[in-house]
Amino acid sequence: MDTGNYRGFETTLEDPGVLVVTFNQPERLNGMTQAFKRDLVETLTQAQMDRAVRVVVMTGSGRAFSAGDDISAHDTLSGSGAHPLMPPVAPGHDNPIGTYDGLRWLSQSLNLSVRNLDKLTIAAINGVAIQTGLSLALACDFRVASTQARLGSATLRFGLLPDEGGQFLLVQLIGIARTMDFLMRKRIVSAAEALDLGLVHEVVEPEQLVPRTMDLARELAGGPQVSMRLLKRTIYNAAEMTFAHALDDIAAKTAISDHHPDAREGIRAFQEKRDPDFNAWLTEK
């Protein structure tokens, strides 16, 4: 897949198959533009289809993970050597139906792409994660936060709504009552408060954020990728299914995983009292 410097972020591929996406507009608190979102969706599409990628890490540079949308409409190519992955399109939002189209096709598609990605994702939240920055972090499967991080939606401060799915992601993670308090009272919380609420999995000192996140990414990348991807999908499915449907869903996925070489390797390693060597299929020509 392509790696390099794009509109608002840069990518590198680290062993063993960890794609690191770093938002690189610190002077703008890594504000998101439509071009940024379209290029990031394309990057995630490439990551989904490239067997060299096992885990995706997203993080920010400077004081912010992302402070949300760049409301200055600064949508140019930014950063030395940055180039677009996707062609420009009309931004919408010039009338009611344009706002509907812009949200559905340009803005909401990013969080949907993160959740649709079968490969596991980690948000390394280095600083402020506000509005769309928060919802992007919440769409990831794991969240590791620096003690310097602050998380909030605060859209009501502008009379706006969390229109990229933030309300759904919050309800899914912390429930209706806490979501009501969080959004209606425009709360922006510290990393420690976010941990108490259940918004993040772990809080570390700033200098430990990247090492701890990469340790987690490598741990996840070393696991049986087919089973983990199927399990990720069925966990999210279970949140929206009846018990009977969830049982059927995991039975269908188990019919795949039980017959995969990784399952045979796992059983063989257990019998031989050694660590399993998963993912041989990923290196096959």
| Torsion angle of the four alpha carbons 82, 88, 91, 97, in this order, in degrees rounded to the nearest 10 | -150
- 3-state percent helix, strand, coil for the chain, nearest multiple of 5: 50, 15, 35
> Do the beta carbons of residue 133 and residue 68 sit within 8 Å?
yes
Contacts for 201 with CB less than 8 Å, ≥ 6 apart: 142, 143, 144
- Stretches where the chain sits below pLDDT 50 are 77
Quick: pLDDT tens for 12-59.
Answer: 999 999 999 999 999 999 999 999 999 999 999 999 999 999 999 999
Contacts for 264 with CB less than 8 Å, ≥ 6 apart: none
CATH of segment(s) 9-221: 3.90.226.10
What is the structure's pLDDT at 113?
97
Contacts for 18 with CB less than 8 Å, ≥ 6 apart: 54, 55, 56, 57, 214, 217, 218, 221
Q: Computed from CA positions of residues 149, 151, 155, 161, in that sequence, does the dihedral angle turn out positive or negative?
A: positive
> Do the beta carbons of residue 25 and residue 5 sit within 8 Å?
no
| 9-221 and 225-283 share one fold | no
What is the structure's pLDDT at 52?
96
Tokens 């912390």: give the residue.
Answer: 174
CATH class of 225-283: mainly alpha
> Do the beta carbons of residue 173 and residue 116 sit within 8 Å?
no
In the chain, what are the domain boundaries? 9-221, 225-283
What is the structure's pLDDT at 91?
82
What is the structure's pLDDT at 79?
52
In 3D space, the residue among 112, 31, 107, 42 whose CA is nearest the CA of residue 65 turns out to be 31
Helix residue spans in the chain (DSSP H): 34-49, 96-102, 108-116, 132-139, 166-184, 191-197, 209-221, 225-238, 243-257, 261-271
> Do the beta carbons of residue 111 and residue 169 sit within 8 Å?
yes
**184/228 Cα distance (integer angstroms):** 36
What is the structure's pLDDT at 215?
98
Average pLDDT, the chain: 94
> Do the beta carbons of residue 59 and residue 212 sit within 8 Å?
no
Q: How many CB atoms within 10 Å of residue 217?
A: 26
**32/15 Cα distance (integer angstroms):** 28
What is the structure's pLDDT at 77?
47
Nearest 5°: CA angle at 193, between 162 and 24?
60
Indicate the pTM of the whole model.
0.95
Single-letter amino acid, residue 191 = A
For the purposes of burial, counting CB atoms within 10 Å of the CB of 36, is it exposed (0-12), middle (13-18) or buried (19 or more)?
Answer: buried
What is the structure's pLDDT at 80?
55
What is the structure's pLDDT at 73?
52
DSSP 44-57: HHHHHH-TT--EEE
Asked whether the bond before 162 is cis by omega within 30 degrees of 0, the reply is no
Quick: pLDDT tens for 264-278.
Answer: 999 999 999 999 999
Single-letter amino acid, residue 226 = V
